[in-house]
Amino acid sequence: MASRPKTAPKSPAQTLAQSFRLPNGVAVPNRLAKSALSEALGTMDNRPTERLERLYARWADGGIGLCITGNVMIDRRALGEPGNVVVEDESDLPALRRWAAAGTRRGGQLWMQVNHPGKQSPKGLNRETVSPSAVGFRADMAAFFAMPRELTDAEIEGLIQRYGNTARIAKKAGFTGVQIHGAHGYLVSQFLSPHHNRRSDRWGGSAENRRRFVLEVLAEMRRQVGKDFPIGIKLNSADFQRGGFTEDESLDAIRALVEAGIDLVEISGGTYEAPAMTGITQKASTRSREAYFLEFAEKVRAAVKVPLMLTGGFRSLDGMAQAVGDGAIDFVGLGRQLAVEPDVPSRLLAGEEPRHSIRPIVTGIGMVDRMGLMEVAWYTRQLRRIGDGGNPRPRESGLQAFAIGMIENGWNTFRTRRLRAS
């Protein structure tokens, strides 16, 4: 009996160039995914702009298979930063359609990340901040963030409706999917964490109660967008805070989300108070493995059957291809690399390494460097340059970016509050 000819092993580029079909039938052209980055490129009254169209067209032209937007907020009263886009009605539908068209013009997927900041919003930006419980930030960050007010049961139900409404409008505008932001210390993450959520009603206490909010959000989104429209979630492997969301709880939450019909799980980790997603707080041995949360992704893969995306720490073509080729994950999540090199997918798919290595952004000010806010500010400046039609500056000083960012953030916070008052 003749033996079957052996299939030649795939090169790293060929591995990443493979298309992937989600369980609902939606096809993604390759295994490279842009993880959400906060752009802050909306107007001061929170509407989409041409800058977003230019930025996402640049990424589409760069060959990304799945592109996930920065956080789009569900409530104009709850911003994460000045310049957030808010989608709570259809008044900006034409601009949203232009954004969606720009991001999908080369055949890739463009998903809108849907978010509410909870208490993770700079002091003074909103009239008040809310959270599952009235738990503030640690002492050295309290100057930046206000003490939140505990949400009422009726307010929680209203927020769930808002998540679904924003997802519905995203679909109508031409975005090809949505992602729930359930990581990095924002509202969904706060509900999941026993550190932030100390409620004793149906929304808190047990791990089952704490994940009720995200499951209700998923159910409401599904009700409003239908069964075939992709809904993903970005979820922490852990919060990396004492008394916070653990890996065991994360795994149980993923099991529940899979049972409820989630289409894609993106794994990350950390919060502004413990920014594991930036790599600053990671041990050298963890950073050397490239993917910070790969071990947890392997646990998820062994426990449930769901498409997986992993974000954080990927640096080399071989490292990305190995994670996909070994079957640990389905998509390589890239964020900061795309902020300094928007065409890096094309390079990787051609078998070439990235031009720029990602380095920790530091100011030399210890308290600032320990916060994820610094990284957000620096990369936001790079995205703005691309949105303005220019190129990023990979070697820009962290201290300079921090100083300029603080001035701009303060001024834009004032402008936002003044617009609301008028």
Cα 353 to Cα 321: distance, rounded to the nearest angstrom: 12
Neighbours of 200 (CB within 10 A): 9
109-115 vs 177-182, strand pairing mode: parallel
Q: What percent of the chain has pLDDT over 90?
A: 74
Q: What is the pLDDT of residues 149-183, one digit of tens each?
A: 999 999 999 999 999 999 999 999 999 999 999 99
Neighbours of 43 (CB within 10 A): 16
In a domain, 248, yes or no: yes
CB-CB contact of 396 with 378 (8 Å): yes
Neighbours of 97 (CB within 10 A): 15
Cα 69 to Cα 113: distance, rounded to the nearest angstrom: 5
The tokens for 18 are: 């493979």
What is the per-residue pLDDT for 279? 47
What is the per-residue pLDDT for 333? 97
What is the per-residue pLDDT for 361? 76
In a domain, 408, yes or no: no
CA 152 to chain centre: 26
Question: Which of 65, 43, 105 has its CA nearest to residue 334?
Answer: 65
In a domain, 397, yes or no: no
Q: How sure is the predictor about 214, in pLDDT bands with cuts at 50, 70 and 90?
A: very high
What is the per-residue pLDDT for 413? 75
Question: Which of 337, 342, 335 has its CA nearest to residue 391?
Answer: 342
Amino acid at the residue 277 = M
Name the H helices within 46-152: 50-61, 93-103
In a domain, 93, yes or no: yes
Domain hosting residue 310, numbered range: 12-356
Amino acid at the residue 12 = P
Tokens 């979630």 found at: 233
Domain count, the chain: 1
CB-CB contact of 196 with 131 (8 Å): yes
From residue 290, alpha-carbon distances to 77, 265, 287, 315 in Å are 38, 19, 5, 6
Q: What is the pLDDT of residues 330-372, one digit of tens each?
A: 999 999 999 999 999 999 999 999 999 887 777 777 766 666 5
In a domain, 405, yes or no: no
Please, how many CA atoms are within 13 Å of residue 8, restricted to the half-sphere of its CB?
Answer: 4
What is the per-residue pLDDT for 85? 98
Q: What is the pLDDT of residues 376-405, one digit of tens each?
A: 788 999 999 999 999 999 888 877 777 777
The radius of gyration of the chain's CA atoms, rounded to the nearest angstrom, is 20
In a domain, 242, yes or no: yes
From residue 298, alpha-carbon distances to 178, 244, 303, 318 in Å are 24, 22, 9, 18
In a domain, 376, yes or no: no
In a domain, 341, yes or no: yes
Q: What is the CATH number of the domain that holds 91?
A: 3.20.20.70
Cα 213 to Cα 203: distance, rounded to the nearest angstrom: 7
Amino acid at the residue 299 = K
